[in-house]
Structures are given as structure tokens and as C-alpha cells.
Structure 1
Amino acid sequence: MIDNQIFLSLLRNRGLTNKADIEAFLTPSFEKFKHDPYLLPDMKPAVERIALAQKRHENVVIYGDYDIDGLTATSILLDAFKSFGLRVSAFIPNRFVEGYGLNLEAIEKLASEGAQLIVTVDCGSLSHKEVERANELGVDVIVTDHHSVGETMPPAIATINPKRTDHTYPFIDLAGCGVAFKLVQALQGRLPGLPQGQEKWLLDLVALGTVCDVVSLKDENRANVYWGLKVLANTRRPGLKALMAVAGVEPERINARTLGFVLGPRMNAAGRLETAQYSLDMLTSTDNMQALGLAQKLEEMNLARRAEQDRIFRAACQQAEQYAQHPVLVLSDPSWSHGIVGIVAAKILERYKKPTFVLQEMGEQTKGSARSFGDYSAVKAIRASDEHILKGGGHTLAAGVTMETTKVDDFRRSVNNFYSESISSSQLHHLDPPTDAEIEALSHANEELVEALELLQPYGHGNGEPVFCCRNVTVINVQRMGNDKQHLKIRFSDKQGQQLSAIMFNCHEEDPEVGQQVDVWIELGINEWRGSRSVEGRLRKLTAA
């Protein structure tokens, strides 16, 4: 047991007070958190229908999604279904053609090509019309999903979704890839081909999808990601090996941040610019040279995505100034690709500290994404604007919406009215970093503490990187960094003369003055440069002392 007092204080503040709970969290047991998959709704009929498809040698199609969760879930089922002896292929919708979720034309195309069973991943819970059409064409559908559900389920053979209320599964925050993995676990007891224990080789995909979909890293998700990172460090997949090599990632040093900020964006770039099929082909490739070529293509596409994202962000900032009095920003332009606007919405929210919709005007229709925070639900705001939209859905903090272009102004008024009616107090405190523990002397921010913090990995939603408050420190140096001087590096000193440097990325606040007494909130890490190591902070917040 670590005896660092700041670390132990942090654990207590996170509700971990006894030895058993601490050990269970720091080293989560895969078996302990491997809940019975048959507690999920409709798991039994799903398993039986898939077993029948295997017996009849039917054509099974995995209907995926173009984000990382959908791509990894598709890869999981492709890998496992082949092991179970199924005839299986995959269909990934194009963001710019079919859009998100089941699509009528795609269903009809798959049926005409001989599909007899469609298994969705990361979509389908609200696709009543599309499932009905599949049934009319003689194609059975099994839905696996984790998004919000309606009052009734689609007329599928099964709808496996932990967000349903008619089940006793103990953890509802699985990602789409997590739900797909539960289906695999259930099938292991019904079909030969994937012996117990061998499913753990799928955890590299589960970890990647779970982290990138920003679901809570608690309970089963934490165990899957914890062990999935270890599998990923030794992955058998040529595609993931190639992607790590191209991105300059050392497998033995991979962590959740690597997935969310290095590998994930490269895979997402394909679907944002052209087609996510490139990413699926990379994930499922068995040829090293083919995998390397695909990984290099994703690298190039990610560079193009970043350049386009920067252009849209600059234009969106200019437009945001026109609506400075609005509590909710609704920004739109014909030249902003709806494959990229979701990222831009997140950056606009960070910059202006307001819920944000960023939309692309596409002729008669306009389509885009929302990002929110605090008590303002993006998906509820969309539903409250139902008369102005064609379709929309998602989650509290992230959502998508489509409307007629002539309705953009009406929609802007509606979501702002919804804010006025539903929010009665400032939401800015929701953006403040938490205080996991106080550091009274900067000498305590040492390598021993940083090494102890590594035990809390993987970090993510529900288990954020620890933030420490250091009070009454003195600013002794201020430096602007980056091509546009957008980053701020500050060096502090405490009353004992101990010093610490910290960087705030994309800082739009005024620089503090040298000699000023401040309180700072920081995350801690190790900076390695030319063979030397030092503790350095990532500055999250700074206020006058």
C-alpha cells in the first residue's frame, strides 16, 4: 500500500476509504466486473437467433457506425463471429451519404445483396421504420446499442441496450463496443470456436472504443480498459501496431490519453473527411504492409482534418461574437463540413464557456453537432425544438441535429428560450476543475507522488486525472508559447522557495503579473527532456490569492 499522504487524501476524497475498496479500484478484477451478459435485455433471443444463423450458414451483416465506438464494436463482432463459424461481413455507413444509424436505402441494398440477419452496433434503438422495412424484406435484425431509447423498442428480434429500464444488469454505462463484447461473452456459452479466456484478446478494441466514446470509466468499463491497455501493448492486430508506429506511440507506454488524443483522432479523421471504411480496414487487416499503408493514409487525413478544423474554428469564433448576448451559441455556414463541426463545437464551448451548436448549411438542409455542459441538456434542447427540426438525438453533453436551412434562426431562438426556461443560475462552476487534494508545499509535488498517481490510471470520464490546488504561490516567470502564442507557461514559487512550472494550453485569459500571489489548480506529470526528468504541471485554473 502506498503511504504518500497526499495520495491517500486523494483516495479518500474519491470515496476510497478502506483497503479492500482501494485494491479493487487500483487493480480491478476482470472476472469480478464481468457481469452476467444474460442480465441485459433480449440477450437470450439474440444468442439463439445468431446460433440459428450459424447452423443455417446464413449471411450475417454487422451494421456499424463511423465513430471509434462503432468501428471497434464492428471489429469485435467481425473477429468473434468468424471464430464462431459465422458467414459475416460489415457495413459502415458514410457520414455524408447514409448518415448516422440505420438507413432505409442501406437496408434495401443489404437485403438485395443477400443479407439474412443484420446485427447493429452502436445504433438502432430508435430505428423503428428501418427495422420494419428489413422485416418486410425478410431480413431479421438484432439491435445492440447504448444510446437513449424511446417508449417502445423497434420490432427487432432483440434490442440489447443497457439504457432500457426492463432489466437487472448492474451497470448501464457501457459503450457500444462494451455491449458488443457482452454479446460475444454470451455466445461463448452457446457456440464453439472462442474458448473462455480467449475473448480477452478483444479487449484492445474494447478499451479503444470505451475511452474514445467518453463513457464513465467505472465498474466494468474500468476493468475492461485497465486490462485492455495491457492487451493493446501486446496487440496481435497489424493495424493497431502500424497506427502506433506511424503516430510515434511506444506500446509499453500507452495509456487512456494516448487512445483519446492520439489514436482516436487519426481513426476518426477518415470518417470526418471521406469514409470510415479505411479505419475499419486498418483494424481488421491481417497483412502488415496493407495495415501500414492504411495507417499512413489515416495520418495524412488527420493532418488535413486538423487544418480544416482550424479554419472552421477561426470563422466560428468570428461569428460567435455576433451572438455574444446569447447564452447558447448556434453557429452555421455552408463551408463548414458537418464531419468536423462536432470538434469545433467542443472548442467553441471551451473558448466561450457556452453550450454550442455548430452547423453546416447544405442547401435546403442544415446539419451539425452540439456540445454542452452543466445542467443544460443538448438532447433535451433539441427535443424541445422539435417543431423546427427534421431529426435529432444524442446525449446530455453531445448531440446531433438536422433541420431545414430556413429554420436555423427559429432553432436558435428555441434553444436559447429553452436555456432561459430551464436554467436559473450560472453554469460556469461546472467547468471548474475539481480539487482532489491540496498541496501545501511545492516540494510535495515530487516524483514519488507522480509515480503513485499512475496507479489511478486509466483516466477518463468518471475517473479524471487528479487536480491539486496550490494556494498562495508567487508567479516568478510568465512565457507565451506556440505558433500563435496560445499557450501559457508559468513558473511559481512557494514561501520556502520551492519552484514548479506549469503550462495552460489554449489559454485565452490575461497573463498574470510577475510577483502576483495566486492560487493554482494543476495536474502533475513528468517532463523528460534530453535525459533529464522534472515534475511539471498542466495548469487548469488560476485565480488571484
Structure 2
Amino acid sequence: MQKQIIRRTPVADQHLPMNLHPVVRQLYASRGVAGDHELELTLKQIAPVTSLSGLAAGCDILYQALQTSKRITIVGDFDADGATSTALMMEALTLLGSRTHNFIVPNRFEYGYGLSPEIVEIAHQQGAELIITVDNGISCFAGIERAQSLGMKVIVTDHHLPGERLPPADAIINPNQYDCQFPSKALAGVGVAFYFMLALRKLLRDANWFANQQIPEPNLAQLLDLVALGTVADVVPLDANNRILVAQGLKRIRAGFTRPGIQALIEIAKRDQTKLVAADFGFALGPRINAAGRLDDMSYGINCLLANDLMEARVMASELDELNKARREIEQGMQVEAERVLASLKFSEDNLPFAIALFQKDWHQGVIGIVAGRLKEKFHRPSIVFAAADADSPNKDGVFDNEQEIKGSARSIPGLHIRDLLEHIDSQHPNIIIKFGGHAMAAGLSIQAKNFDQFNQLFSQYAEAWLDKEQLTGTLLSDGELPASLMTIEFADLLQEAGPWGQQFPEPMFDDEFELLQQRIVGEKHLKLVVQKDNVAFDAIAFNIDVKAWPNSQAKKAHIAYKLSVNEFRGKQNVQLMVEHLKAL
């Protein structure tokens, strides 16, 4: 879909420090930075721990468990946020003196998401007396009830939006509870886990625990590399509080204070640890961890993060890298097939439906979320991709059972809260959706295969009712033109230092008209360019270009939206434009 570039309207920025570069000051102001206090990215500025409700009850339960050496089981999730949350809890409990804790992460193909009754049974067989969920639990009613019937206590730590009622856990720590006064509702699951451990450390300190146990009080800042990775990889908004957590994690990693698992992932992704940026978490490290949960078993990704030996971590990171390559191949095949299906439905940019839902019996459950995201990006429509819940479906006779459950992964566009839409469908048509959960921009659900057509119709119908046509036009927000005098290595470095950039605090993007001096395809579908502005030439690259449209020998000029970057090759640095949008003029 051809996207429209909209330039941000200049806003007042006098409330920000005048010693900032004027371009940077305007970037901050346009992203809603309220004052210089939001630019001081130190741990002293994070939201108070005491403002997160549920911590007192959770800490009391966990303290009692530590005192009596109860068996504690962490139940995680099979994405990067769940993996980092689980690793953080495992390491923090060890630092705080526990010797009787372990973790379980559900295999998505066998048990599905969260604290299910089946996972509770496994925990019970392992002797669990206290279950702590991380990055899940707020919708796990049946699992919590089963755990309590077996005599276990349950602490839920989660950040997903709760439903109309809360589960009957012994303690719930979630900034999105209706009565929680915590100022940042954007915490990732790993951020919630970090706050929980900060509160527990204070309780233990006040109880003289460390002296009694003859162990040193730990500096929990050593966990911030995990917090930063999980926060960015989960694509939660980088509000002021999350920017502090990410900035502090990045600072530690760049300085060499990170765990072997993250160091090994940085190496395998061919990133420079001393120059790591937030985007590297989302595009390089996160996908490799996620690949374990998508195709195999997320416990492997967690064990990589928990590895104490660098050589061991490198072996694990290499295997995660191979899984990620396999994931990309499966995803590419599914995406091609999904686009073929859309083409067969005779959709064009002029008659696309308000929402897209696709299901194919042989699609891989592990990558449907990525494919839904790709469709959303390409067509700018809320998209849901379904796959069979049973990995062995169809059966040995090649017959697919329409009574069976299929799982969908949804991605939305600005203006449509996808979880609220699913909740509305469920309230109006209670026999269609088996279960659902999620956020404004991403959600998951299960339905029976036989109900797919009806669900598809309802999904498109309600999306049309909830969306305006203007919201269906893909837009790119640009920070305007950048003078050639600022298109330098020094200014590109300044922009990186002004971060971290991320979800709802986007990396600066500029747009302008350029002369096209050179065009060539590299790596099958990437367009390498040399462009010129004000008689100054710049390298540029556009990834995943439409090779039917480019290279374009007829085009002598182009309108380009880009991010300013620095490319390093054989020890030499030069400015490079990372092309986000390209239109021949």
C-alpha cells in the first residue's frame, strides 16, 4: 500500500533546555516530553515502587515462602518478554537467598498460553507450593483455581489488560488493574517483575534478612539488561519510565556489564556491544529469543539468558540463531501464501476490506503473529492469522476436523483497540470466541475452525463500524526536512544519544526530494542507492523493496522518507540513509 507522508506540525519547545540542539529539542517536544525532568534518565527518576498496587501482598507471601523454604515455581510465557521476565525472577530470587525455585514455560503447541490447569498439574508434580506467574496470569482463572484447590498459593505478575473481573489469585501485581495508581501503564511483564523484586528486597532489608542469612544485599541494577531487552522486544510504549529502564539497561550493556547470554546474542547478531541501541533489542536479539518459543521450547532461550559461562552461552545463541533462520523461512513461505490468498480474493487498494482474517490448515502456529504483523504493515488493516491449535492436524487420514480449535494472532492499526473489539464480538456473539486476551495493538484468540467464516464476517463488520476511512490510510510521520549540513556522522550520533527511541517514542524520520545517482539490487530484494541533495552525495538502502518497481531507470529523482544512520565497513564510517518510503518523481 502506498503510504502518505505527513510532516509533524512544529510545537512549542521553550519548556525544554535551551542547551539542547534545536532539532533535538523539537523532536522531544513533538513526542510529548513535558520537561527536562523527563530527560534525566536515571534510576532516581523511576516511578515509585510503592505506587504499584499488589506489591505488599505479593511480598508478604513470597517472604513467608523464603522463610520456610517453600518450593517456588515461576510460570513464564513463550515470548521474549516472558523469557526475560522468567530469567529475571530466577536470578533475582537466587540473589535474594532462595534455593528452592525453578521455572516452567508452557510449550505453545502442547499447552497454549499462561497458567493453564495442565501447567498447574506439572508444577504440582514437581512439588510446587507457591506459583508466581510472569507476563501472564491475569486471565488464567481455571489454572489459578486448580492451583488453589491443590493447596498452592498464586501470585500473578502481569501487564496485560484485565477483563471485567480479576482472577482469584492470592496477590495480583499489574499496573493495568483498575485501582492501581502506578503512573506508567506501559510496563512490560519484565518491568513488573523488576518492580516486584525491588519491593521484595526492601522488605527483606527491613526484616534484617540479609544479615540473618549472611548474604550480601544484591544490587538489582544488574538485572536491567534483561529489563531493557524484554521491554523493547515486547513493543510496549517507551513512556518516560520505560525510557529510563531501557536507557539504564543499554548503559550497562555498552559498558560491558551484561550476562553471557546477552553478550552471546549480541555477537551472533553481529552487533557492536559498545554501540548497541534500543532497536537492536527489537530487530536482532528479541527475534532470536522468540524463535525458541515459536518453533521449539522457550526454556532454551531462558537458559541462554541464565547461562553463567560465555562459551556455553555462545553455543545456545548459535542454536537460537539457527531457529531464527528457520522461523524466517517458514514466515516467508506463509506470507507469500497469505498474499496469494488475498490476491485470489481480488482485493486492490481501492476495495480492501476494513479488516483481514486468514486461516490455512497447514500454517505454522509459531509465526502467525509475525505474518499478521506483515499483513497489517503491507495493507494497513487490522489483521488476524489463524493456524490449527493441534500441531498434528490434519489427522493421519488427511481429514481436518472442523470441530477442532484454531488459534489466531491479531495485529491492529492506530485507532482500533483490538482487544476491545474482540471483547465486543464476544459480548454480542458469546458462542464464537473460546478465549481471548491482549492489548490495544496485539491480541490472541481461539475459535473453532467451523466458526472461522462467521468470525471473519463479524471481524470485518465491527472493524468497519469502529474505523473511519481516514484511519485506513497508511501514514508516515516525518520530522520534516534535514539540511545537508546536518546529514553528518556527528549529528547521526547525536540523534542516537538522544534516545532510546521505540514504540510511541519513534526514532526521528525525515523526508526530502533527492536526485538518484545510482540504483542496484543487493541480497535479492534490497535496493542500494546513491542519492544527492544540495550537491552532496549520500549512500542509502531500502530493505524489502518491490523488485517489480525498483530499480527504476526512468526515475531521476525520488521523494524519500529516511532515518539517519552510520554505516561502518572495514573500519570506515559513512552516513547512510535508512529508507522507510521511496516514491519516484
> TM-score w.r.t. structure 1 length?
0.92
Q: Specify the SS of the correspondent of 1:523.
A: strand
Rounded to whole Å, the distance in 2 between the matches of 1:539 and 1:221 is 27
Task: Assess if the C-alpha contact under 8 Å between 2:116 and 2:142 holds in 1.
Answer: no
Task: Kindly indicate whether residue 359 of structure 2 is the aligned counterpart of residue 320 of structure 1.
Answer: no
The answer to which structure, 1 or 2, has the higher relative contact order (CA under 8 A, 6+ apart) is 2
Question: Which stretches of structure 1, 4 residues or more, deviate above 4 A after TM superposition?
Answer: 1-5, 15-18, 193-197, 511-518
Task: Assess if the C-alpha contact under 8 Å between 2:563 and 2:580 holds in 1.
Answer: yes
Rounded to whole Å, the distance in 2 between the matches of 1:334 and 1:236 is 42
Task: Assess if the C-alpha contact under 8 Å between 2:24 and 2:498 holds in 1.
Answer: no
Task: Assess if the C-alpha contact under 8 Å between 1:6 and 1:437 holds in 2.
Answer: no
Match of 1:383 among 397, 419, 423: 423
Task: Kindly indicate whether residue 522 of structure 2 is the aligned counterpart of residue 501 of structure 1.
Answer: no
Rounded to whole Å, the distance in 2 between the matches of 1:314 and 1:75 is 35
Aligned match of 1:48: 60
320 and 69 in structure 1: CA distance in 2 versus 1, 3 angstrom threshold: same
Task: Assess if the C-alpha contact under 8 Å between 1:518 and 1:542 holds in 2.
Answer: yes
Aligned match of 1:83: 95
Task: Assess if the C-alpha contact under 8 Å between 1:7 and 1:449 holds in 2.
Answer: no
Task: Kindly indicate whether residue 478 of structure 2 is the aligned counterpart of residue 435 of structure 1.
Answer: yes
Report how far residue 443 of structure 1 moved.
3.5
Q: Specify the SS of the correspondent of 2:500.
A: coil
How many equivalent residue pairs? Answer: 534
> What amino acid maps onto 1:244 in structure 2?
I
Q: What is the alpha-carbon root mean square deviation over aligned residues?
A: 2.2
Rounded to whole Å, the distance in 2 between the matches of 1:390 and 1:3 is 53
Moved more, 178-187 or 372-381: 372-381
Aligned match of 1:406: 450
Q: How does 1:345-360 map to 2 (within 5 A)?
A: 345-360=372-387
Rounded to whole Å, the distance in 2 between the matches of 1:224 and 1:4 is 24
Rounded to whole Å, the distance in 1 between the matches of 2:21 and 2:55 is 45
Report how far residue 206 of structure 1 moved.
0.5
Match of 1:30 among 43, 50, 69: 43
Q: Specify the SS of the correspondent of 2:154.
A: strand
Task: Kindly indicate whether residue 299 of structure 2 is the aligned counterpart of residue 277 of structure 1.
Answer: yes
Task: Assess if the C-alpha contact under 8 Å between 1:4 and 1:449 holds in 2.
Answer: no
Q: What stretches of structure 1 of length at least 5 have no aligned partner?
A: none
Match of 1:136 among 149, 157, 160: 149
Task: Assess if the C-alpha contact under 8 Å between 1:332 and 1:359 holds in 2.
Answer: yes
Aligned match of 2:279: 257
Task: Kindly indicate whether residue 326 of structure 2 is the aligned counterpart of residue 304 of structure 1.
Answer: yes
Aligned match of 1:10: 27
Rounded to whole Å, the distance in 2 between the matches of 1:123 and 1:94 is 14
Aligned match of 1:171: 184
Match of 1:114 among 112, 127, 130: 127
Rounded to whole Å, the distance in 2 between the matches of 1:408 and 1:132 is 30
Report how far residue 15 of structure 1 moved.
4.5
Q: How does 1:442-481 map to 2 (within 5 A)?
A: 442-470=484-512, 472-481=513-522
> TM-score w.r.t. structure 2 length?
0.86
Report how far residue 83 of structure 1 moved.
1.9
Task: Assess if the C-alpha contact under 8 Å between 2:407 and 2:445 holds in 1.
Answer: yes
Q: What stretches of structure 2 of length at least 5 have no aligned partner?
A: 1-17, 391-400
Q: How does 1:61-210 map to 2 (within 5 A)?
A: 61-86=73-98, 87-191=100-204, 192-193=209-210, 198-210=219-231
Rounded to whole Å, the distance in 2 between the matches of 1:17 and 1:289 is 45
Report how far residue 514 of structure 1 moved.
4.8
Rounded to whole Å, the distance in 1 between the matches of 2:95 and 2:539 is 52
Rounded to whole Å, the distance in 2 between the matches of 1:238 and 1:14 is 35
Moved more, 472-481 or 446-455: 472-481
Task: Assess if the C-alpha contact under 8 Å between 2:225 and 2:258 holds in 1.
Answer: no
Task: Assess if the C-alpha contact under 8 Å between 1:525 and 1:536 holds in 2.
Answer: yes
Q: Specify the SS of the correspondent of 2:469.
A: coil
Aligned match of 1:489: 528
Match of 1:422 among 445, 466, 482: 466
292 and 532 in structure 1: CA distance in 2 versus 1, 3 angstrom threshold: closer
Report how far residue 129 of structure 1 moved.
2.1
Aligned match of 1:334: 361
Task: Assess if the C-alpha contact under 8 Å between 1:475 and 1:514 holds in 2.
Answer: no
515 and 237 in structure 1: CA distance in 2 versus 1, 3 angstrom threshold: closer
Rounded to whole Å, the distance in 2 between the matches of 1:392 and 1:513 is 49
488 and 296 in structure 1: CA distance in 2 versus 1, 3 angstrom threshold: closer
Rounded to whole Å, the distance in 1 between the matches of 2:309 and 2:530 is 49
